[in-house]
Chain A
Amino acid sequence: MIQPAADIPVWAAIAVAFFLLVGSGLALIGAIGFLRLPTFYERIHAPTLGTSWGIGGVMLASMIFFTVSSGRLVFHEILIGIFVTVTTPITFMLLARAALHRDRAEGNGNVPDKQNKSQVATDVLVGSGSRDV
């Protein structure tokens, strides 16, 4: 049976609080970054804090709390983590490619071009080669 929250042992309470704070703290930092970073391509990095260890921390806290308080292994939260991890890149790439397409069509920013392929490919090769050396 699930006990009231006050009845779980101290070590478990500390672990739950730690992971909960880390997870929600990272999600908050991600939201702040989403608000404050200057360009679209930089802003796109910020929410991944929430979808990686943000969700991971909350997930671990929930797993520890319900495992300890109900006295049996509870780990179905792991499914949330798996589905968030697997589905995030889809939305992410849709947004990023839409932005890339718009920036290339309007010619704004220093977005790498893909239109005139062979030329660009050699440019990129030469560019990266000289920087590697």
Chain B
Amino acid sequence: MLPYPLLTLSLILMWLLLNGFTPGHLVLGILVAVFASWAMASLRPDRPRFAKWYLLPKLFGIVLYDIVKSNIAVALIILKIGRRSHNPGFLTVELDIENHVAVAVLAVVLTSTPGSAWLEYDSNDRTVLLHVLDLDNEAQWRDMIKNRYEKLLMEIFA
């Protein structure tokens, strides 16, 4: 009946947020959400399996904090162009996570953090090519990705 309950629920919530809560829109939203999840089911994507979903707010908090920090860092680099030289460079990181959803979440996190860009993921040898705007301390970047994000993601997605 409902192949992706979480997706259905999010779609209903989105419909009600966009249209305002009325009983009519609740019914319409449920209809749209159920048919959309059936359409999704025929694509047969991997189901995300959450092991420790209660760690999601922690991940969210860490990411929000890091985005604020790197926003300031990148803004300073841009405004100070010419005076202080930054050191852009490529960085290859080997990942241990295999779960597709977890890799996608990591890609979204690293891309939305200014200063680091996810360029290319190779699923054969599970390496990702990143471009970093200020690659002063390569080991520190590697450590941040592996220990700060990847460990947490591996706990969340079993």
What is A's interface to B at a CB cutoff of 8 Å? 26, 29-30, 32-33, 36-37, 39, 41-42, 44-46, 48-49, 51-53, 75-76, 78-79, 85-86, 88-89, 92-93, 96-97, 100, 110-112, 114, 117, 121, 124, 128, 131-132
Let me know if B14 and A79 touch, CB within 8 A. yes
Complex: how many Å from CA A52 to CA B75?
12
* Interfacial chain B residues near A29, Cβ < 8 Å: 75, 78-79
CB pair A49 B114 closer than 8 Å: yes
Considering the complex of A and B, which 9 residue pairs feature the smallest CB-CB distances, nearest first?
A33-B78, A89-B111, A76-B17, A48-B114, A96-B119, A45-B133, A53-B71, A41-B131, A29-B75
Residue of B nearest to A86 (CB): B108
| Distance between A129 CB and nearest chain B CB, rounded to angstroms | 11
Whether the pair A93, B79 counts as a contact (CB closer than 8 A) is no
Q: A41-B131, A89-B107 are in contact. Are A53 and B88 (CB under 8 A)?
A: no
Closest to B67 in A: A52
The answer to whether B74 touches A45 (Cβ under 8 A) is: yes
List, sorted by A's number, 15 A–B pairs whose CB atoms are closer than 8 Å.
A29-B79, A41-B117, A42-B133, A45-B133, A48-B112, A48-B114, A49-B71, A49-B75, A51-B112, A88-B112, A89-B107, A89-B118, A114-B120, A121-B125, A124-B127
Number of A-B contacts (CB under 8 A): 113
Interface pair A93/B92, CB less than 8 Å apart: no
Q: Is the CB of A75 within 8 A of B17?
A: yes
Contact B108 A85 (CB under 8 A): yes
Q: Is B139 an interface residue (CB 8 A)?
A: yes
Report the Cα distance A132→B48, complex, angstroms: 34
Chain A residue numbers with a CB within 8 Å of B99 are: none
Contacts of B117 in A (CB 8 A): 41, 44-45, 48, 92, 96
Does the CB pair A52–B113 fall under 8 Å? yes
For the complex with contacts A39-B88, A44-B131, A48-B117, 6 further pairs of A-B residues with Cβ separation under 8 Å are: A48-B112, A49-B74, A75-B17, A79-B17, A96-B131, A132-B138
Smallest Cβ-Cβ distance to B114: which chain A residue = A48
Choose among B88, B108, B117, B118 the residue with the greatest number of A CB atoms under 10 Å from its CB: B117
Which residue of the partner chain, among A39, A79, A114, contacts B122 with CB atoms under 8 Å?
Answer: A114
Contacts of A85 in B (CB 8 A): 108, 112
B120 touches A89 (CB 8 A): no
- Asked whether B81 is an interface residue with its Cβ less than 8 Å from the other chain, the reply is yes
